[in-house]
Structure 1
Amino acid sequence: MEADQSRLLFLLFLFTWRLSPEVAAEVQESSDGSASSQKTVSLTDVPATMEFIAAAEVAVIGFFQDLEIPAVSLFHSMVQNFQDVSFGISTDSEVLAHYNITRNTISLFRLVDNEKLDLESKDIEKIDASKLSRFIEINSLHLVTEYNPVKAIGLFNSVIQIHLLLMMNKASPEYEESLHRYQKAAKLFQGKILFILVDSGVKANGKVISFFKLKESQLPALAIYQTLDEAWDTLAIAEVSVEHVQNFCDGFLKGKRLRENHESEEKTPKAEL
């Protein structure tokens, strides 16, 4: 019963999308990025489209039969809001047929779990900016995805049921090198484990950290979580290395649990949330 309550509280917290003004500002800042000349790529044949999708961690493609509808200009306007997403557009009949497109459709492709997601809308021609932006924000999962309550929805909708969280302050001097190593490790488990970054410098993320019974003094740390049976484990690490991450993940996949050594902690209700 206690485990069920903890699961419910955790999911309720992660799926919460009504952000405080402070957190919302941070989410917006992370998605906006710096101004650039990124543009929508015109995809004129099937090989070019396949290559475009394969080269991006996250690709959003507008499959349109008519470029004169308002949704097309709205689609182009999204490009500068998501600097880490590749945008393409196609009206080619062979491309549309290859992806089983029978009407105007906006699709998101992500490398991390090989998923194709279509924006559900009965009238895509009149879609508004908030719905399109939210669709992209929720579902933009990368090899390493930075956590925020909006992205959490996409994480739990993924077919990958094991999530690894690196909890670390992005302001620390070791952050850049640690992230680089974490990304290298993520490639080793692509399709098996979702790699997530939780910035401990963001106040709102304290609840995620405390859920896994970790304290600031124990960070950086890794936490691994399986959505199917709520099994989880943690590891405090002095240094983020590919070897540490790989060994921790391999151990979890083989059923080894470090937390089995301190079961007394497990009996404490997770009331922080």
Structure 2
Amino acid sequence: MMFLLVFSLLTVCVTADDKESGSFIRLNDVPAAEAFIDSVDVAVIGFFESEAARGYKEFLAAAKQIDKLPVALCSEKEVWAKYDIASDTISVFRKADLHQEHLKLSEARKIETDGLTRFLTINNIQYVTEYNQASAVGLFQSAVKTHLLLITKRGSSDSDPLQQLFRDLAPKYAGKMLFVLVNGKEKSNARVLEYFGLKSSDLPRISIYDSDSDKKWLMPAGKITTERVQNFCDSFLDGELQKQKEDETPEDKTEL
């Protein structure tokens, strides 16, 4: 997230915290909070009245364990009111599915660093989220049930350009589809390839999985271009892919 610290123009509104939380931004007013949330795919804000608040130290420790996660602290009640925060809360703001996740610490039976780390990891759903055991939980908990998968071999010559294509398209489908990157070289992802009827030699491929219907679609093999991927997504959102699947006979199902 190379645009994490784009707040050089907001130095009046954003100040450094004490030594313990010095690596985090402190949001002192609504414009600073809005700028922070708008600047990244996923923004985490710890709304704490003071450093003595329950869960404060555990939150700092958890946030430091997650690489490159944009985290800020806020004790200003004006900002709390903007986001309907009534008590000490850890909030995650996501663009990919237009979702806000709020963990009210007063309602938590137990607060531990490991538990908060898991909460932040699961909810770190970005415009393009890499599939793994932890992110899968967050992906399937999202209200957006349609996943567009780029299944590729990380490190191959075409992997980086395809990932960039994916990232460029993802904002267009915010709240409609979650864009998921699957590294086909990882042994732990072998079952994903098997589910879509793919072998390593078939990669890269684009597919759609809809968890509501538990159905899948493979984009026909061929060069992966922005236009083809966009048409594939739009065909699903328009219902055309679903109709094609319903019209297929067993002999027609050559993709899987």
TM-score by length of 2: 0.81
Aligned to 2:19: none
The residue type paired with residue 94 of structure 1 is: E
Say if 1:168 and 1:200, in contact at 8 Å, map to a contact too: yes
Say if 1:46 and 1:95, in contact at 8 Å, map to a contact too: yes
Alignment partners' CA distance in 1, 2:253 and 2:195: 11
Say if 1:219 and 1:237, in contact at 8 Å, map to a contact too: no
The Cα shift of 1:229 comes to 1.9
Deviation per residue, 1:165-206 (Å, 9 max, x gap): 111010212111111111112122122111000000100101
RMSD (Å), alpha carbons: 2.5
Deviation per residue, 1:122-162 (Å, 9 max, x gap): 46696211111000111111110000121111111112121
Q: Work out which structure has the larger RCO, using CA pairs closer than 8 Å and 6 or more positions apart in sequence.
A: 1
The Cα shift of 1:120 comes to 5.1
Alignment partners' CA distance in 2, 1:120 and 1:151: 22
Aligned to 1:163: 147
Query: Where does structure 2 lack aligned partners over 5 or more consecutive residues?
Result: 1-21
Q: How many residues align?
A: 231
Query: Where does structure 1 lack aligned partners over 5 or more consecutive residues?
Result: 1-37
The residue type paired with residue 94 of structure 2 is: R
Which secondary structure does the structure 2 equivalent of 1:42 belong to? Answer: strand
Q: Which has the higher helix share?
A: 1
Aligned to 1:188: 172
Determine which of 61, 64, 81 is the counterpart of 1:77: 61
Determine which of 178, 200, 203 is the counterpart of 1:216: 200
Alignment partners' CA distance in 2, 1:100 and 1:187: 26
Aligned to 1:230: 214
Alignment partners' CA distance in 2, 1:164 and 1:153: 16
Say if 1:69 and 1:125, in contact at 8 Å, map to a contact too: no
Aligned to 2:250: 263
Tell whether 2:169 aligns with 1:149.
no
Say if 2:62 and 2:114, in contact at 8 Å, map to a contact too: no
Aligned to 1:99: 83
